[in-house]
Amino acid sequence: MADNYTGPLERIDATRWRIPKSYKPGMRVDGVIYADDKLIDAIKGDKSPEQVANVACLPGIVKYSLAMPDIHWGYGFCIGGVAATDPQKGGVISPGGVGYDINCGVRLIRTNIKFADAKMQIGKLVEEMFNTVPCGVGRGGVVKFSKPELRKLMAEGSRFVVKRGFGWDSDIESTEAHGCISDADPDSLSDRALSRGSDQCGTLGSGNHFMEIQVVERIDDAKAAAAMGLVEGNLTVMIHSGSRGLGYQVCEDALKELQHTPRKYGIDLPDKQLVCAPVESPEGQSYLGAMRAAANFAWCNRQIMTHLAREAFSNVFGLPAERLGMTLVYDVAHNIAKMEPYDVDGKTCQLCVHRKGATRAFPPGHPELPERYRGIGQPVLVPGDMGRASYVLTGQPGSMEHTFGSSCHGAGRRMSRGAAIRASRGRSIKEELAKRGVIARARGRTGLEEEQPDAYKDVNQVVDVLHTAAISHRVARLRPVGVIKG
Amino acid sequence: MPAAEGLYAAFGELVAGGDGSILCFDFQGDDPSVMLRDFLTELLILFERDQRCLVAVVDAAFTESRLVVTVNTAPVDLERSAFHREVKAITYHELSIRTVPGGYEATFIVDI
């Protein structure tokens, strides 16, 4: 499926590579990939740079088609891609620029618990979380919402479930967009989307979704870590999931509906997975309304899982989650399209920023940040792989200048799932992880094999690139000690 | 049937059990590969929402612009089946149907 990329890649500086717009007809802007010398070789190993060039053909794209260092091949858009379009200049919205798992994202919960004191409890914690948070194929949630309730949930976002006891008021402030994008249109969702989502809110799913118990291994920025409540040697919990079947169906419905839209608006596309519609068109607005509703569902999903994770900790330690200090550090989306203001040629323009496998990374002082993060910048959560590490970063001014307020979203795959399974033959990934001090529990038979550490790039390299490029700065490195997979 | 088996292999090892029921699907369009994709999407939803799977194709008729399939479906035996992963969708990427000796060969890529 994915051959090597053989097109041009011109070095701009130590962390950026250009695909010139002269590369292929139809490119309106250059492509820019963030990578160092080591990563760029791996990136050329699949067709994802070609996808960066294809995205550069979208009408209304501004400045450049971007890719973060965790770039890898995706459907239409690459994973790790960022593209901003200007609706005033015919800019489009493309469901492929968001992906099937709308508002797939990550949240991090800190604790007061010292790993040194809780070492012997990690196995019990993993088991308790595995049994408390529904995960894996066909596992329904602890709460089933009727269709009218679902519509209300998608209109209100996180607040809807917090009001019903699934979390704390402070969680809302610590969630991107306060867990609710306005102008969601839950009424535009198909019956099928609603039925796929009715019992999936508060479920982990499978694939690369996970819950992790981690220990803060190293602090790189003491001031930022203190603002986030991160203490070296203490446990954290990371949750990675998205909008489940409801979001997949919203994307599926949109791809079908928009099949003939490019022809209607005279848009020439190099790949039909890039189907799109002008942001201001009825079709574009319809998708945006449905996508925002699915995004709000995803925030509720992670919110309910947060509540369940707190319950699991509480059960194991015999103390309320408040006493364990389990506050939410932050929640960020990494598959989303949002209208955001940016300076373009000295003018402030509302752009439609597609982030597909890319995380928002607003710098210090940004008005959208909660008060406690205004001085340090937005927390950027970067899960690595289950054997090495994850990172907490903060958004920096460079992100507004160069990447439409975006940073990376993870390590990025370097092996297909099939290749990862083949590479695991004769090995026990569970035992290998145990030797590294990680207790893993998975519902699916191949989950650990497909997600083994070797299947991913080295997250340290990915994070280094963006730190060097002054897009996002390192705050803390988190080491996994317990992993729960679907 | 082989296309359905391909999809089910992505889920894991499904074992059917219980009473069968007949379902009929009728797709119209201008691209046979997209109609096949639509049929597989129905099977995906049938599995995810109703925990049922296809056990036999009773009848299938297709032209360049229409695909009508009648299938026998049965509940998935959740105890005896082994699940590997969820499937989010059947994508349009590299979707194709080719004529080969003795039948057709289809390529479809699922997002998991």
Q: Does the beta-carbon distance from B86 to A417 stay under 8 Å?
A: no
pLDDT in tens, A7-46: 999 999 999 999 999 999 999 999 999 999 999 999 999 9
CA angle A479, A238, A173 (to 5 degrees): 130
Give one DSSP letter per residue of A230-299, joined into a string: --TTEEEEEEEE--HHHHHHHHHHHHHHTTTHHHHTT---SSGGG--EETTSHHHHHHHHHHHHHHHHHH
* Residue in the structure block whose two tokens are 């349009």: B92
- Is residue A5, in this structure, part of any structural domain at all? no
Q: Comparing A93 with B104, which gets the higher pLDDT?
A: A93
| Average predicted confidence (pLDDT) for chain A | 96
Give one DSSP letter per residue of A408-440, joined into a string: --S--BSS-HHHHHHHTTT--HHHHHHHTT-EE
Residue A91: the pLDDT is: 98
- Is residue A3, in this structure, part of any structural domain at all? no
Strand partners, B104: B99
Confidence of residue B18 (pLDDT cuts 50, 70, 90): confident
| Helix, strand or coil, per DSSP, at residue A163 | helix
CATH number of the domain at B99, please: 3.55.10.10
Out of A196, A272, A444, closest to residue B48 by CB? A196
Mutation pick from A3, A46, A206, A272 vs chain B, by most beta carbons of B within 10 Å, is A206
Residue A375 has pLDDT above 90, yes or no: yes
Confidence of residue A273 (pLDDT cuts 50, 70, 90): confident
The structural domain count of chain B equals 1
| Helix, strand or coil, per DSSP, at residue A213 | strand
- Cα–Cα distance measured from residue A404 to residue A331, given in angstroms and rounded to the nearest whole number: 19
Size of interface A-B (CB pairs under 8 A): 66
At residue A153, φ and ψ (nearest 5 deg) are: -60, -40
- Cα–Cα distance measured from residue A475 to residue A466, given in angstroms and rounded to the nearest whole number: 13
Confidence of residue A92 (pLDDT cuts 50, 70, 90): very high
Residue A145 has pLDDT above 90, yes or no: yes
Per the structure, the complete domain to which residue B29 belongs is given by 2-111
List the one residue out of A4, A38, A27, A25 whose CA is nearest residue A17.
A38
CB A130 within 8 A of CB A122: no
Compute the nearest-CA separation of A480 from chain B (Å).
22
Q: Does the beta-carbon distance from B109 to A1 stay under 8 Å?
A: yes
Q: Which residues in chain B have Cβ-Cβ distances shorter than 8 Å to A252?
A: 41, 89
Q: Give the DSSP H/E element, type plus range, for residue B42.
A: helix B32-50
Confidence of residue A437 (pLDDT cuts 50, 70, 90): very high
Residue A137: the pLDDT is: 82
- Cα–Cα distance measured from residue A115 to residue A99, given in angstroms and rounded to the nearest whole number: 37
Residue A34: the pLDDT is: 98
Q: Which residues contact A153 (CB under 8 A, 6 or more apart)?
A: A145, A160, A161, A201, A296, A297, A300
Confidence of residue A47 (pLDDT cuts 50, 70, 90): very high
Q: Which residues contact B89 (CB under 8 A, 6 or more apart)?
A: A100, A248, A251, A252, B41, B44, B110, B111
Q: Give the DSSP H/E element, type plus range, for residue B25.
A: strand B21-28
Residue A1: the pLDDT is: 47
Angle between helix A282-317 and A244-257 (nearest 10) = 170
The structural domain count of chain A equals 1
Q: Which residues contact A371 (CB under 8 A, 6 or more apart)?
A: none
- Based on C-alpha coordinates, what's the Rg of chain B? 14
| For residues A403-418, average pLDDT | 94
Amino acid residing at A456? Y
Dihedral sign computed on CA atoms, order A107, A110, A116, A118: negative
* Residue in the structure block whose two tokens are 């979380």: A129
Q: Which residues in chain B have Cβ-Cβ distances shorter than 8 Å to A77?
A: none
| For residues A44-52, average pLDDT | 95
pLDDT in tens, A156-210: 999 999 999 999 999 999 999 999 999 999 999 999 999 999 899 999 998 899 9
Q: Does the beta-carbon distance from A205 to B86 stay under 8 Å?
A: yes
Confidence of residue A446 (pLDDT cuts 50, 70, 90): confident
Residue A486: the pLDDT is: 85
Would the ipTM clear 0.95, i.e. be above it?
Answer: no
Strand partners, A359: A407
CB A269 within 8 A of CB A117: no
Give one DSSP letter per residue of A314-360, joined into a string: HHHHTS-TTTTT--EEEEEESEEEEEEEEEETTEEEEEEEEEES-EE
Compute the nearest-CA separation of B97 from chain A (Å).
16
Closest residue on chain A to B52 (Cα): A138
Per the structure, the complete domain to which residue A180 belongs is given by 10-95+103-485
| Helix, strand or coil, per DSSP, at residue B72 | strand
Residue B1: the pLDDT is: 76
CATH number of the domain at A329, please: 3.90.1860.10
What does each C-alpha distance from A381 to A174, A295, A306 come to in angstroms? 13, 18, 16
- Is residue A4, in this structure, part of any structural domain at all? no
pLDDT in tens, A59-82: 999 999 999 999 999 989 999 999
Token pair belonging to A134:
């529904």
CA angle A82, A88, A91 (to 5 degrees): 35
- Cα–Cα distance measured from residue A274 to residue A96, given in angstroms and rounded to the nearest whole number: 6
List the one residue out of A431, A472, A476 whose CA is nearest residue A235.
A476
